[in-house]
Amino acid sequence: MSTAATTAAQLERLGGHLRKLRLLKSGERLEALLQHAAAQELPYADFLEQVLGEEVSAKAIKNIAMRTAMARFPFVKPLETFDFGYQPSVDKKQVHALASCHFIEHGDNVPGCQNSCRLRFFAG
């Protein structure tokens, strides 16, 4: 997988394919990704995993930004900036347990709720 063997025409075709598939982040970084793969002598599967991993990450970041903008929050304040000292009645461990959403994955009760408080998700 050598960059020297990658011609300008081949780069253009690859870029066109990436644009058609809407893999825009990969298209922007194609040459750098190819150079890195050649320098590290990455196997094809590792190269593909790197390219797709970057694309998935970029799309996730874009998705979060879009949903945050659509929610029209007056400002974005991450949980890490919350002052638990100002509100001592808030249990920091419980808030972080809720934020992790592990209870959803395991189908458990919502931490801190009574037994009757259970999240249910319906497909439909």
Residue-wise pLDDT for 57-87, tens only, equals 999 999 999 999 999 988 888 888 988 899 8
Percent of the chain having pLDDT more than 70? 85
Q: What is the pTM assigned to this prediction?
A: 0.59
Q: Is pLDDT at 121 greater than 90 in this prediction?
A: no
Q: What angle do CA 107, 113, 119 make, to 5 degrees?
A: 35
Give the model's pLDDT for residue 39.
94
The pair of three-digit structure tokens given for residue 71, joined into one six-digit string:
């929610």
Strands (E), the chain: none
No. of helices (H) and no. of strands (E), the chain? 6, 0
> pLDDT tens-digit profile of 80-109?
898 889 988 888 888 888 888 888 887 777
- Closest by CA to 91, choosing from 77, 116, 111, is 111
Residue 37, H or E segment: helix 30-40
